[in-house]
Structure 1
Amino acid sequence: MARGATNRLMTTAGLAALLCATTTTALAQATTPSAQTAASDVAAVDEAEGPSVSEVTVTARRRSENVQEVPIAVSVVGANTLEAQGAYNINRLTQLQPTLQFYSTNPRNTFINIRGIGAPFGLTNDGFEQGVGIYIDQVYYNRIASATLDFVDVEQVEVLRGPQGTLYGKNTTAGAINITTRPPSFEFEGKAEVSLGNYGFKQGKASVSGPLSETVAARLSVSNTDRRGTIYNVATNQHVNSQDNLGVRATVLWQPSDDLNFTLTGDYNLQNPICCAQIYARVGTTQRALNRQYAALTARFPGYRVPSTNPFDRLTDLDAPIAARNEHGGVSGKVEWDVGPGTLTSVTAWRYWDWGPKNDRDFTGLPVYTKVNNPTKQDQYTQEFRYNYDGETLNFVAGLFAFHQKIRTSGVQQTGTAASAWLLAPTSALSNNPAVLNNLLAENDIRLDNTSLAAFGKVNWKVSDRFTVSPGIRINYDKKEGLYDSVVTGTASTGARVRVSNDPTSPLFTDPWVAAQRGVQASKFFEVDFSDWNVSYDINLAYEITDDINAYATYARSFKTGGVNLNGVPNLASGLPALEVAKIDPEKVNHFEAGLKTQLWDRRATFNVSAFYTDIKDFQASVISNISGSNVLRGYLANADKARSKGVEFDLSVQPSERFSVYASGAYTDAKWIKFVDAPCPPELAGGGTGTPPGPPATPGANSPANCDVSGQRMPGISKWAFSWGAEYNVPATLLGREGEVYAGYDANYRSKFSSNASRSIYTDIDSYSLHNFRVGFRTDEFNIFGWVRNAFDEEYFESLAVTPGNTGLISAQMPDPRTWGLTLKAEF
């Protein structure tokens, strides 16, 4: 562990010691942890009347409501569940939420989907947004990399499934994740938590809150996580894919009167691991010439062998430096003023994101690429005004929202001495000369200015005591201005350093070395802007069948804003960029949903079920297309004609007694491309010649189609079946003179097979797997100590598989955690 991480952990642990006493963190719902993953997230005990389900309050519709009365599919995970199951970031939520998918090879290359939709697999591009909105304390986090932080003093996490465009904005076509942290308290309180585990795992959390005066209260929270990597790099003799996370959050609450609150919050987060390595998973045969596939290419370097062809040996030999420094933070101010029958709310926020990566993008121990780094800086400003009116038969939310974002990326890509042999055709004499492609250097300047304005409203009209109609609308304006400037320089056959250009009039254009370099990468410049108006609207119908059974139906028309391609675009025959594909059209979504929310058995059980059908027109995805007048195929972001996701979900929690609780959640999701005719081809149909007809798959030297029609195929990243389940049992006990309870918990999840490539491939399907976690401990009102083991049976599976560049057949893997175990001590007073 790095000295800085050690010092941070010692500081956190020291604060934990100062906070003294230990206990399990109490939820507002006072629940047992294992039952909280169901839709109501609760199973509380009323000592006078026996076990019952208590009310859980959510803000899914920008007002406080009982989750069972909200006519949308929403799952709530409380603080106890997050802590008991080690779900300390969004990634780990996927084990609790069957409909949530999270894929990440590093913070910037992160995708969050709900019900299989939200973001495409493939290209990372700052010129478009994801379809799952992330909100922390009502502040919108636009770039997903800035939301990959450890949770710091979180009270609960709401996962809203289905389009949320009316209240949550333009880019929530798949849903939203609404995270709420603990507010300051006017009673002095503190808590602490320390965890130790294998792989050098060390985690400390601490929080203290109390009054500063009669009208001012404050809360200070800190979290630090450190663990050595689970993959060993034989080239650098170090463990990689480590964890080194620090989070600090401070909040001050001023209540000058009963009807006026001011909340000021600041946070700072730093992730600085030795990361991120994707390792050798397998090799598949493509249609590239046999002498340009992986086995033949590595044979050109005598003595080179991959450290292991078994990915579960967790070995790599990446020779370029790797890093994933991810720093982000910000300040927000919230004002809540009770005005007559309603509340006026203002939320003002500034956030920044500073991303400092280093990558090895040839995925080998050979110096093909020595640098592929795209450091990025972002500033984001948001302002929201809302008025919530409460009446007996009518209530509504109306508001205005403004957003501005500035992103600046200064990237570099550099090749090494192995590039000529790896990237040029072996039949060319130039491939035997390392100097031809050595130090081919691309310096990139990529800029985006993004502005959005919106007005929105949502009405709840109680037609009768049991029937409520809730229409909503949002009008949104977006403007994006992008710039892409890549300056590529290489060495000409004369020994001079020259600009590598697609311009036929440029000096040394016909030089054989420069021509070879141009085939790998060439200079490019373009500017592009996008602006558009859009309208989202929805209507919810809610009917209270009985006091404990609620039915609802929803129709939503939503959209995801258009964008601009900031990873480059194909060239025309003239060498100029094809600006006609530099813009990405908005996604248009039609969504239908119906569900039941029930509480049964004297509220000992909660069972919620929903069915949904979502059509997406112009789904934003990676495409391959021949631009008119160009002979070059290149991938870029554009629009698939139509995609669809439909399915059924359920959440169940039962607490038959105060000693036992059980939960289960499940989802059947059928997500398909309805019409997508110009998709990238899978590796077995790529890399070959351009003639017709296309040859058989996985046949070296055969002709390859220009693109592939994947209409009717399953969309990537989504399992048809997914489940989470678990239970907890406790018995009264006395330990060291303290009365409490001994408890044991079990939590598990299952996902069926899914595709890990933009177009389904025989090489990138990930087989079904299940993970099983156990914990056992002792807790009182004053402390909680428990041991845990996660992935207890050491399941061997992949988080994702990716086709590496060049159609060589090499498939890389993003590896999950192996079996981990440890001990946690929690404290509260």
Structure 2
Amino acid sequence: MLPHVAYNSATAIIARSVVANAMVGRDHNGEIKMSKLHKSLAMLLASGATALTGPVAFAQGGASAGPTLEEIVVTARKREESLQDIPIAVTAISAAEIANRQVNSLDDLAKFAPGLVFSKSFGRSNERPVMRGLASVLAGTNATVETGVAYFVDGVYYPGDIQTLDMAEVSRVEVIRGPQSALYGRNTYSGAINFIMKKPGDVTSGGANMAVDADERLVSGRLSGRLTNSLAGSLAVRYNKFDGQWKNQLTGKTIGDESSVDFSATLNFTPTDNTEFNLRMSHNRDRDGTRPLFFQGAGENNCAPGTRSFASYSTASIANPNQYYCGEIKARPIYLNDAPVTQPIVQLAGIPATFVGGVTATGGVYDTRQGVAFSGVNRDLDLALASFRWDVMGSGYAVAINGGTRRDDRKTGSDSDHSSVNIIGPNVNGIQDMATGASSGVDKYRDWSVETKLESPRENRVRWMVGAYHFEWEQKAYRIDFASLEGQDRPENIYDIVNNAIFGDLEADFTDRLSGTLELRKAKERKGQINYLSVKNLQAGPTAVTYDSRLRGNDRWTSTTPRVTLNFKASKDLTLYANYAKGYKPGGFNGATAISNGRPQDESFLEEESVNYEIGAKSILMDRRLTLNVALFKTDVTNMQLTTPIQNSTTGAVTSLSTNQGDGEVKGVEVEARFAATDNLTIAINYALADTKFTKGCDDFQFQLTSGGGIFNPADPTNAARNLNGQGSCSIVGKAFPLAAKNSGSIAADYSRPIASNGYRLYVNTDLSYTDKKFVQVHNLAWSGAATLLGARFGVETDQWRVGFYGRNLLNEDSSPGVTRWLHTYMLGIPGVTLKPGLPSTAIASYSLPRGFFGVARRERQIGLEASYKF
């Protein structure tokens, strides 16, 4: 089949899908609806997609006289190189592609970068990016556990959530896959994402953009120009408001709203031809309401029967014997106690209407008062970046210094049982207490880093670079309650990190076609934490609170991370490479949980380490009309940061701590292709396979699930009395990693053609992406569903302005982006709730709280109008 015939067939199918799926939608209550406006816009978008199926001309026989792809330059190895020559796996997404693909956040970006999977599990906070299948379910829940994928802005490490970064100010994004620890340092053991921001231009220029639909408004503007012969500057501003699309069934209010206001200013100073200074400062103000978190209760569990279920409790309203759910966790109506209840309460399966005894409360299990002091995410972020580069006397030897500082104040809160259950205890000092398990807090982050490099001329046959790095980070966590809505005066927890490193690379041309590179980093990291006794103070004030230090932890790690690369230029249009790299993810602490279970107060878990083997080919074909890049890799992981059971020597209770007890491997392939089909049409395709599995590992809850509820004792793992059904095993060998998608990919097309002689052009952009299901935990029983997302833009433009329509999630995909296993309720831990007679002893069987799952709802279809002007 000819390329243009195959593409025409595909876009025709997409066009029909747009129409068919856009004709129906669902309102906040799940009822089918479709406005006339949405029908009209959907038809217009479909017409735009259909326009791509028109005739496409190809030169017949001989060499093509058609279009060519522009060369892309990247800085993934901290120097400028052609994307097709650099011997590592990199995806570069330009500013034009960011606009054409409607990339407004990391969530959107992940669709177009093979090997990168992102789940917006907690709104615009607690991000957990996954690269090449390597994920951590603990990241975001333990302050000292990290994801293994690091963000950088203009090459400066950015240790925080980055979803609210103004993508209109991004010149290029480089997604660098595989361990990058040698050059980029900490927390890059599976990859790095570098956002290269726009610099001021030499001539005065500017513009404004606007996008509006039924649920969201986005307005941004930019002004850039030269202030003097050697000084240029730019200013940018953005306002984004999303109203939310989901109804809270307890309050009748719409939730899920998000709002951002951003300002940034940039200066570029070039006093000589060999010297350059850059300064960038920005401020972000984010105000997000209650996050759209739904809950699937333990009453719906359908597999792994055992004692940790409602069937063990005499007082449960149902007798479901299952401990787990097997299958996809799907979105459902949302019940959150973020405000006073005004709607009829739907009782949660398995929970009695009132307490059996032991606790006095105003409203029993379903109190109608607001249960959480604050619900949502508020964030104020200040970022300052600076860089200096000096080509020493024009010799090619260069000194480069870059660094930055970040101040991030964040307020978060949630009704943490994610259900209509709302257990509020007696008032404290006349002030209402928060509901049991409700979570609210203020976190204040401060960090800064600086990197210095000295490098030789790149044209030398033997070339080198050496550098030094310093990084400091601190987090202070404050409790929120109804008397301290902005956080108490003193922190409950303090965490800090200091990292120092030296690094460098040595590259040599062995022949005109074969070269080799050795990169090496030697780093030392110290982590510390102080956990204070958590005491409700309410109106009593901080002077009435016992504030003695509860736990102090401090540990140090030393790491050596090399990368060795061989690069063979088979021809001017074909690059073959192979590399070996080591990566590491920093260790951390278990905090108060460890000391309360009789463990040493400074006990830590180690770094998670990886070894990566990669071979790849980068080719330019069809007279530079097609680029095809392929990478095959294998990653061996040791000391995986999982959970392990710890038995309290005093009480006998078993809990889970973060430890290094598992190993695993990932085998995969990544393919990227870009094709200039005609002067008017460019197509981009990518695909990634990440086949993950544990090669070693023991999980305590895996034993509970397979044994019928038995308590796993690591000191006596073969105890037959605990293996209630004789089938218990803690092994997770052969299981896939949680949060990882085995298959992912996308196809995108950009089409533009003149429609009048006076410069008017028709533009059409379409993109279709797929992400496989993701297992919730190591057990591989429950998962968040696969997602197929279709986006499109269609309109008319000139060199100065553009007006058109856009569509996001046109197929109205409703699978949850992220799911977490969670306590069904705290009710079963209350005195007076009784177990059924005749059950196995609590010394060998678990009767802990049954668990369900919470997940986040996905944004529904959005269709709107966009316009822009530039000068």
Q: Which amino acid aligns with 2:513?
A: R
Deviations 1:454-505, CA, capped at 9 Å, x for gaps:
00001221112111101011010111111112334699xxxxxxx999xxxx
Q: Which amino acid aligns with 1:560?
A: K
Alpha-carbon separation, structure 2, partners of 1:704 and 1:377: 50
Whole-angstrom CA distance in 2 between matches of 1:238 and 1:542: 59
SS of equivalent residue, structure 1 residue 623: strand
Q: Distance in 2 between matches of 1:357 and 1:178?
A: 27
2:279 maps to 1:226: no
Corresponding position of 1:363: 418
Q: Is the 8 A contact 1:146 1:328 kept in 2?
A: no
- How big is each residue's C-alpha offset from its partner over 1:149-172, in whole Å with a ceiling of 9 and x where there is no partner? 342410010000000011100211
Which residue pairs with 1:534 in the alignment?
559
Conservation of the 8 A alpha-carbon contact between 1:484 and 1:568: no
Q: Aligned pair 1:397/2:465, yes or no?
A: yes
AA aligned opposite 1:180: I
The CA deviation at 1:138 is 1.6
Instruction: Point out the more displaced range, 174-183 or 82-91.
Output: 82-91
Shift of 1:756: 2.0
Q: Which region of structure 1 is more displaced relative to structure 2, 800-809 or 674-683? A: 674-683
Q: 1:122 to 1:482 in 2, by over 3 A?
A: closer
* 8 Å CA contact retained: 1:782, 1:827: yes
Q: Which amino acid aligns with 1:248?
A: F
Contact 1:646 1:671 in 2 (8 A): yes
Deviation track 1:770-814 (CA, whole Å, cap 9, x = no partner) reads 111222111221122221112112122111222112543432121
CA distance 1:241–1:296, shift in 2 (3 Å): farther
Secondary structure at 1:166 match in 2:
helix
1:78-93 mapped onto 2 (5 Å cutoff): 78-93=94-109
User: Retained in 1: the 8 A contact 2:768–2:790?
Assistant: yes
Quick one: which of 151, 155, 161 aligns to 2:171?
A: 155
Aligned residue number for residue 515 of structure 1: none
- Determine if contact 2:673/2:685 at 8 Å carries over to the other structure: yes
2:533 is the alignment partner of 1:486: yes
Code of the aligned partner of 2:749? A
1:125 matches 2:150 = no
Letter in 1 for 2:337: L
Which 5+ residue runs of structure 2 have no aligned equivalent? 1-50, 53-63, 320-327, 339-371, 424-433, 539-543, 713-718, 825-848
Alignment partners' CA distance in 2, 1:707 and 1:372:
34
* Partner SS state of residue 804, structure 1: strand
Which residue among 441, 449, 453 is the counterpart of 1:386?
Answer: 453
1:822 maps to which residue?
A: 864
Matches within 5 A, 1:303-702: 312=331, 314-319=333-338, 320=372, 321-339=374-392, 340-368=395-423, 370=435, 371-390=438-457, 391-411=459-479, 445-488=492-535, 525-566=550-591, 568-569=593-594, 571-572=596-597, 577-579=598-600, 582-626=603-647, 631-678=652-699, 680-681=701-702, 688=709, 690=711
Q: Counterpart amino acid of 2:387?
A: K
Corresponding residue of 1:791: 809
CA distance in 1, matches of 2:313, 2:104: 39
* Aligned partner of 1:769 among 769, 787, 792: 787
Larger deviation, residues 147-156 vs 604-613: 147-156
The secondary structure found in structure 2 opposite 1:110 is coil
**Given that residues 394 and 460 in structure 1 are in contact (C-alpha distance below 8 angstroms), is that contact kept between their aligned partners in structure 2?**
yes
Q: 1:579 is paired with a residue of what secondary structure? A: coil
Q: Is the 8 A contact 1:684 1:761 kept in 2?
A: no
* Structure 1 partner of 2:750: 728
| CA 616–211 in structure 1, closer or farther in 2 if over 3 Å, else same | same
Give the Cα–Cα distance (whole angstroms) in 1 for the partners of residues 157 and 277 of structure 2: 19
Q: CA RMSD in A?
A: 3.3
Evaluate the alpha carbon distance shift between residue 310 and residue 378 of structure 1 in structure 2; reply closer, same or farther with a 3 A threshold.
closer
| 1:205 maps to which of 202, 220, 223 | 220
Pair 112,623 (structure 1): closer, same or farther in 2 beyond 3 Å: farther
The superposition leaves residues 175-213 of structure 1 with CA deviations (integer Å, 9 ceiling, x where unpaired) of: 0001101101221110211000122x1001111111111
Note the residue ranges of structure 1 that are not aligned, 5 or more in a row: 1-33, 36-47, 301-308, 416-440, 492-498, 502-522, 697-701
- SS in structure 1 opposite 2:96? helix
Report if the CA contact (8 A) 1:363-1:804 is conserved.
no
The separation in 2 between residues aligned to 1:86 and 1:294, in whole angstroms, is 51
Q: Is 1:113–2:104 an aligned residue pair?
A: no
Q: CA–CA distance in 1 between the matches of 2:266 and 2:650?
A: 58
2:769 alignment counterpart? 749
Does the C-alpha gap of structure 1 residues 402 and 524 become closer, same or farther in structure 2, counting only changes over 3 Å?
closer
Say whether the 8 Å CA contact 1:129–1:142 is kept in structure 2. Answer: no
Superposition deviation, residue 551 in structure 1: 0.3
Contact preservation (8 Å) 2:738, 2:780 = no
2:202 corresponding residue in structure 1: 186
Contact 2:497 2:525 (8 Å CA) reproduced: yes
Q: Distance in 1 between matches of 2:450 and 2:586?
A: 19
Kept in 1, the 8 Å contact 2:140–2:146? The answer is no
Structure 1 range deviating more: 474-483 or 287-296: 287-296
CA contact (8 A) 2:331 2:814 kept: yes
| Paired amino acid for 1:275 | T
Q: Give the Cα separation in 1 of the matches to 2:282 and 2:200.
A: 14
Decide which moves more: 686-695 or 153-162.
686-695
**Does the C-alpha gap of structure 1 residues 628 and 643 become closer, same or farther in structure 2, counting only changes over 3 Å?**
farther
Is contact 2:292–2:334 with CA below 8 Å preserved after alignment?
no
Q: Which of 80, 98, 114 is the matching residue for 1:98? A: 114
Q: Which residue, out of 250, 258, 262, partners 2:265?
A: 250
Is the partner of 2:99 in helix, strand or coil? helix
Q: Is it true that 1:800 corresponds to 2:818 in the alignment?
A: yes
1:803 is paired with a residue of what secondary structure?
Answer: strand
Q: Which residue of 1 aligns with 2:285?
A: 270
Could you report, residue by residue, the CA deviation over 1:308-349 in whole angstroms, capped at 9, with x for unpaired residues?
x99656533434341211222221221111112222111131
Relative to structure 1, the CA distance from residue 161 to residue 628 in structure 2 (aligned partners, 3 Å threshold; closer, same or farther) is farther
Q: TM-score, normalising length from structure 1?
A: 0.80
The C-alpha deviation readout for 1:266-288, integer Å capped at 9, x for no partner, is 11112211032311246315634
How far the C-alpha of 1:686 sits from its partner, in A, is 9.6
> Conserved in 1, the CA contact under 8 Å of 2:139 and 2:146?
no
User: 2:281–2:384: 8 Å Cα contact kept in structure 1?
Assistant: yes
* Aligned residues of 2:794 and 2:805 also touching (Cα < 8 A): yes
Q: Secondary structure at the match of 1:50?
A: coil
Identity among equivalent positions (%) equals 22
Give the Å deviation of 1:729: 3.0
After TM superposition, the structure 1 stretch with the greater mean CA deviation from structure 2, 57-66 or 747-756, is: 747-756
Alpha-carbon distance in structure 2 between the residues aligned to 1:92 and 1:567: 37
